[in-house]
Structure 1
Amino acid sequence: MVRGVISLYALTFLPKLRALHLENFAHYSFLGNLTTLEILSLHGWAYEDLADELEMLENLKILDLINCAFCGRFQSKVIRRLSQLEKLYLPRSSISNDIFLEIKFLTRLRRLSVEVHFPHCPLDFEFPEFENYKISINCFSINFGYREMSGFGYTFDTARSLKIEEVFPYPAFSQLLGNLESLEVSKIKDEYVECLTNKTQQKVSVSMILRNLKQVRIDYCKNLKVVFQMEEVEENEAPLLSNLKILHLQRLPDLSCIWELPTQHVRLESLVELTILHCPRLKSLFSLSLAQSLVLLEKLEIIYCLELKQIVTELEGNEGEISSTINSHTSLSSPKLTKLYISTCDGLEYIFPTQHVRLESLVVLTIKKCPRLKSLFSLSLAQSLVQLKGLDISYCDEMKQIVTELEGDEGEISPTINSHNSLCFLELGNVSISNCYGLEYIFPTSMSPQGLQSLTLNVEACSQLKQVFRVAKDK
């Protein structure tokens, strides 16, 4: 690695030089004389003389210009001369729109990273067969950093990613979609993201795309109604979305449904993080069968979904009531879920739909501005919260109790609490409750104060509070 303390002319006396990293060189005279170079990485400002020097390095296999800032527009025609290139990482700006016309001549190219505004690609254009690519189209302004709650993000590298803003160039990029792992789109004006639906004529199987995707982020697509959409799936096909790890949906004012798919062909068994921000027309997140596949989900964040009534939709009976025939085959368990954050969901009526739910890894639960919630947990669910350390509840106007216990014939809490349904939060350290004006009880009858050895309890503006620990009538 050289940081501009010697002349490049001195390097011409190294006849076997194969790899070179340069930082902050003002001029690149004599760089073209280093014809044995196979790997070149440049950081810092670059001037017009660089293009002339680069095109003489015909043995280059790896060229990294990602952190190189060009004073003028990068001359993409230089790329055509570097016929031995296998890996190409282009600068984040100053790339001409015809860059892909030059890349097609690089028949050995297997890895590509490029950001460009509106690429020029003829209808018969064909990409080389990339093993890895990171391509961004007109998305220099995409920013998925907005969060109401900081520190909730989860990131990982994917081998093949596509970022697009405003216009989805499906015809030109369709051949890249078959093995796509990460898709980020913003400001698409259609009612769907073209590669995630089979309602239109497709060059690439949508089911193939959905099977390979690991990350999907969609932001500010104001007409989008459905994210994943397929009308028919072959019976013998592999499960859809089984590799999806991260799903982030943000600022989608018309979104009413996430998955319009045959649920028997969908498995969310790899999903680690789900974030839903500002989707005011969304009414639910999962069917019961989808929720049962969430075995790796670690973080769930839902903010400003005003019409959301329930997170999990259960099967309904003849009169439209939630079915009570829940058994071990329809129970829910998210054994990896550690953080749950819900805020500003005015229509949310309940979070966990059945008594057969287990959240044994949940550490932090935050519920804010959900005025229609009446309680959080059934007794059986509360018993599974062995790792819960923090509980924060605020502005839940109709919440009367946090844990709902079984009731007797006259609607009173049953005094027959035994060792099988007793409750103990050994890890619970902080409970903060504020502005829950209907709250009457915090801890249920089955809760023993001895199970809260290190608890810090903060209660504010709960004018109807009767007892911290609810006491049965015979006690």
Structure 2
Amino acid sequence: MQGLTNLRGIYITDCKGAQDLMQVGSFLTNRRTGHELSLLSLETLHVDSFPDMKCIWKGLLLSHLTTLMVRKCQRLAHVFTSSMIASLVQLKVLDISTCEELEQIIAKDNDDEKLQILSRSDLQSLCFPNLCRLEIERCNKLKSLFPVAMASGLPKLQILKVSQCSQLLGVFGQDDHASPFNVEKEMVLPDMLELLLENLPGIVCFSPGCYDFLFPRLKTLKVYECPKLTTKFSTTTNGSMSAQSE
């Protein structure tokens, strides 16, 4: 796209028929000049009420993006593909809500749109090094947020809120390729300050198997209406909060 390169934030809503942002982009113009606006310098992107959107973007490197909010995208099955993650090192806030068909936040790259399990090499390269805030709400087909092997790629995560996701089984999911020798059994989220799990009728554990999590800086923990949750939250001898799977 040609035109302005200094567009920093954009809110796009109610775009029926558009399946990704590239289709929307051809309609974004500067009213003064008539030139198309470039999305490449975006720092904040809000996408709301895209009933036909299947993917957010293809082929765009949004390396300056710090905030992404996605709401009411009924056909969206995933937010990112594994190849997109490397360009999102500045992402600080990720907020996803009311995406009924969302099955994965990150899916393997695949042209035929069928979601595939991430390989071991994919998992080793996935991280959001600056992600501070993650909120997920009303995504009823989502089984987990990320594979457990990816937890070490969230070193700055401070706020994690998950609510009203009826089929969620765990915050972190099982990595089918992992073994006890390539994933640490004790995982640390060093900057976590606030953890909220609310109205999750299907959640069984925070993380699968024998993985325990430590939150050395946690200040607020709220677990509400999670009747099947077996994970035990407790304070360690050094004052850290831990989540221990049974």
**TM-score bucket (shorter structure):** 0.7 to 0.9
Are 1:255 and 2:42 counterparts? no
Question: What TM-score, normalized to structure 2?
Answer: 0.76
Q: For residue 224 of structure 2, what is the aligned residue in structure 1? A: 434
Which of 388, 394, 397 is 2:201 aligned to? 397
Query: What is the deviation of 1:181?
Result: 3.5
Listed one character per residue, the Cα deviations across residues 211-259 of structure 1 (whole Å, up to 9, x for unaligned) are xxx33321122332222259xxxxxxxxx95522111101222222211
Distance of 2:50 and 2:212 partners within structure 1:
43
Aligned to 2:215: 425
In structure 2, the partner of 1:218 is 12
The residue identity in structure 2 corresponding to 1:217 is Y
Give the Cα–Cα distance (whole angstroms) in 2 for the partners of residues 251 and 302 of structure 1. Answer: 12
| Residue aligning to 1:345 | 139
What amino acid does structure 2 have at the position aligned with 1:258?
I
**Residue 325 of structure 1: aligned partner:** 120
Distance 2:57 2:4 in 1: 21
1:226-305 residue pairs with structure 2 within 5 A?
226-229=20-23, 242-261=40-59, 266-305=60-99
Q: Distance in 1 between matches of 2:80 and 2:141?
A: 16
Amino acid at match of 1:442: K
Q: How many residues align?
A: 220
Relative to structure 1, is the Cα distance of residues 290 and 384 closer, same or farther in structure 2, using a 3 angstrom cutoff? farther
Gaps of 5+ in 1: 1-173, 183-213, 231-239, 406-412, 414-420, 458-467
Q: 1:247 to 1:325 in 2, by over 3 A?
A: same
Deviations 1:344-374 (A, max 9, x none): 0011122113614411111110000111111
Taking the aligned partners of 1:324 and 1:256, their CA distance within structure 2 comes to 22
> Letter of the aligned partner of 1:250 in structure 2?
D
Seen in structure 2, the aligned counterparts of structure 1 residues 402 and 247 have a Cα distance that, compared at 3 Å, is: same
Conserved 8 A contact 2:72-2:97: yes
Counterpart code for 2:93: K
Query: What does residue 167 of structure 2 align with?
Result: 372
**Could you say if the C-alpha distance between residues 314 and 251 of structure 1 is closer, same or farther in structure 2, counting changes exceeding 3 Å?**
same
Indicate if the aligned counterparts of 2:162 and 2:196 stay in contact, CA closer than 8 A.
Answer: yes
Aligned pair 1:385/2:189, yes or no?
A: yes
Q: Percent of counterpart pairs with the same letter?
A: 26
Counterpart for residue 88 of structure 1: none
Counterpart CA distance in 2 for 1:272 and 1:381 is 31
The one-letter code sitting in structure 2 at the alignment partner of 1:397 is P
> What secondary structure is seen at the aligned counterpart in 1 of 2:3?
helix
Query: Following TM superposition, by how much is the alpha carbon of 1:334 offset from its aligned partner in structure 2, in angstroms?
Result: 1.3
Q: What is the 5 A alignment of 1:7-406?
A: 178-179=3-4, 181-182=6-7, 214-229=8-23, 242-261=40-59, 266-315=60-109, 322-326=117-121, 330-353=124-147, 355-357=149-151, 358-377=153-172, 383-405=187-209
Give the alignment partner of residue 450 of structure 1, picking from 218, 224, 237: 237
Query: Once the two structures are superposed, what CA deviation does each residue of 1:83-120 show, in whole Å capped at 9, x if it has no partner?
Result: xxxxxxxxxxxxxxxxxxxxxxxxxxxxxxxxxxxxxx
Read off the aligned partner of 1:267 and give its amino acid letter. L
TM-score by length of structure 1 reads 0.42
1:180 deviates by: 5.1
1:153-186 deviation line (CA, Å, top 9, x unaligned)? xxxxxxxxxxxxxxxxxxxxx9xx612533xxxx
- Unaligned 5+ segments in structure 2 are 25-37, 174-182
Pair member with larger Rg: 1
CA contact (8 A) 2:192 2:215 kept: yes
Pair 1:380–1:307, CA change in 2 (3 A): farther
For 2:88 and 2:244, locate their aligned partners in 1 and report how far apart those are by CA, in whole Å: 34
* Preserved CA contact (<8 Å) 1:181 1:215: no
**2:66 & 2:188 partners in 1: Cα distance?**
20
Q: The residue matched to 2:197 in structure 1 has which SS?
A: strand
Aligned mates of 1:297, 1:220 — CA distance in 2:
24
Greater RCO structure (CA 8 Å; 6+ sep): 2
Tell me, yes or no, if the aligned pair for 2:15 and 2:50 is still in contact at 8 Å.
yes
Partner SS state of residue 396, structure 1: coil
Q: Distance in 1 between matches of 2:23 and 2:202?
A: 36
